[in-house]
Structure 1
Amino acid sequence: MIDPGPAPGGKWADLRTRILSATVMVAVGALEIWLGGTAFAALVVLLTAVMIWELAAMTAPARKQTPVTIAVVAGVALMLALVLRSEIATLFLMAPTLVLILTPRRDRRLAGGYALAVMLAGYGLVDLREAGGGSAILWVVAVVVASDVLGYFVGRMLGGPKFWPAISPKKTWSGTVAGWVGAALVGMAAVLWLGASWLLVPVSALVAFAGQLGDIAESWVKRRCGVKDASNLIPGHGGVLDRFDALIGAMVFVLALGLVAPVMALFGA
């Protein structure tokens, strides 16, 4: 998630690089969402494996080969869960967590818990794309992006009291609340253009809040590991985890919501 704090060389010094990288990611993501099926699932499996690699590398920097091995385990486990599609198959999603807990590293339980969230989010993205077509997945992505972008600009322009300074000292209440407003507007757009239920408006704000908590969770992991970014794979954004941390939180919430009520019912499906 974009960090609404001061950047070296001025407030907007990193904006150009962020926009260029974001444009490429949006183009690739939009194409994959449109294609769906195997192409979208393959992208999600790849990104999930990379995020697990980043997590494993952060929590055990001295073990150079172990993160790659754990990433392979994560990719294979998610692929098997998606192919077999059963309650027992979803136990495969716990494989990276077990490996992280059983191998020497700092904060093994924290790393294991966060790995499970990453795996659940990956599974949920593919499942939601298949269950609801493009509309549901685009809604989640749009909510996260709107919350992120509006929070970024409002937070940098207005500043003010910090949201959770002990873990994420740059995030402000102004940016946080702006993110909720942006998400609610996305929900309202879905109501007006897609005929979705008006319940989608408050649900969108809750999804945005879950995304913000996902961002804070990743910030907590990085702070415990003493690193600024998960990796340097994406110019201007850091690592894949740095870019998709909010989406992880949002998808875990959507999955939890689906246990209570069918999410697609909000879209009239």
Structure 2
Amino acid sequence: MASRSVRGVERFHDDRQAEPRATASTAAESPAGSGSGGSQTLERGLRVLALLADHADGLTVSAISAAMDTHRAGVYRMLRPLEAAQLIERRADGTYALGLGLVALASNVRSQLQAVASEELQLLADELEATCALTIRNGEEAFAAIVQQPTRSHMHLAYSRGLRHDLNTSAAGLAILAANPPRENERAEIARARKRGYAFSQNELFAGVSGVAVPVYESESYASASVSAVWLGDSLTEKRVADALIEVAGRIEATLRQEAGFGLKPTGQLRT
């Protein structure tokens, strides 16, 4: 069976501090050379989004403040409108991460990842006669961005795009977590997925359903998405589905590398 080792990225650690009270005299510092007024605010907001995009595990206000050389109170003022628009979200541990509002915007222009994955997943769904999906990480949740059902099958599980669930539940979320450094008290299934390159689950989101998922890398060591297949009963084997998904993930990565210059290493180097 083809093998695919899961690589992680270095996590950004920082303290978790409470939000300070904003005062009328508090002002955000801007980097030298920035514009003024609305353009300055837009520039800061874009910098926050770019910063969070580089840290899938989220960042504290202190970390954002240090990275942008801006006072914490000013950072809070930048974060509030982004959070209100669901472009970012504040998680339970106080860190901030990219939000589902970005997924909605991306879906309107058919982001390159989704456009490439859509066709590949439909072909796989028809081949396996199983439902296949592209799942994207949103904070501590998994979001089904694309769901492709087989055009013909005796029986298959049907669910809709937009399904959300905890990352710790089901193969689709476990595969994404396995592409990140180990966490304290993480599920044993995540460690196994990290070792073998794919995640497997049974009876988690739906009774009687099995699933396999493989992370999709946007860069050499960064993955915030996975491709998966789910099936009912014993119509398929874990090995067959895992092999097929590893090939699909490799083709998606190769296409992104060729068409968008994402800087991915050749597929063989991602799977050792």
Query: Normalised by the size of structure 1, how large is the TM-score?
Result: 0.28
Query: Normalised by the size of structure 2, how large is the TM-score?
Result: 0.28
Q: Which structure has the larger Rg over C-alpha atoms?
A: 2
